[in-house]
Amino acid sequence: MESLAQLEALCERLYNSQDSAERAHAENTLKCFSVNTDYISQCQYILDNALTPYALMLASSSLLKQVTEHSLSLQLRLDIRNYLINYLASRGPELQPFVTASLIQLLCRVTKFGWFDDDRFRDLVKDTTNFLSQLLTVQDSYV
The residue-averaged pLDDT of 89-116 equals: 90
Statement: residue 132 has pLDDT above 80: no
Residue 99 · residue 56 · CB < 8 Å: yes
- For 33-70, letters b (16+ CB in 10 Å) and e give bbeeeebbebbbebbeebebbbbbbbbbbbbbbbbeee
pLDDT beyond 90 at 89? no
Measured in whole angstroms, how far is the alpha carbon of residue 67 from the centre of its chain? Answer: 11
d(CA 110, CA 64): 8
Give whole-number Cα distances, 139 to 48, 59, 117, 129, 136, in Å. 24, 29, 36, 15, 5
Q: Which residues contact 30 (CB under 8 A, 6 or more apart)?
A: 7, 10, 11, 14, 58, 62
Asked whether 113 and 71 are in contact (CB, 8 A), the reply is no
Q: What is the pLDDT of residues 2-29, one digit of tens each?
A: 699 999 999 999 999 999 999 999 999 9
Domain boundaries of the chain, sorted by first residue: 4-142
Mean pLDDT for the chain overall = 87
pLDDT at site 29: 94
Mean pLDDT throughout 87-109? Answer: 91
Report pTM: 0.84
Whether residue 138 is predicted with pLDDT greater than 80 in this model: the reply is: no
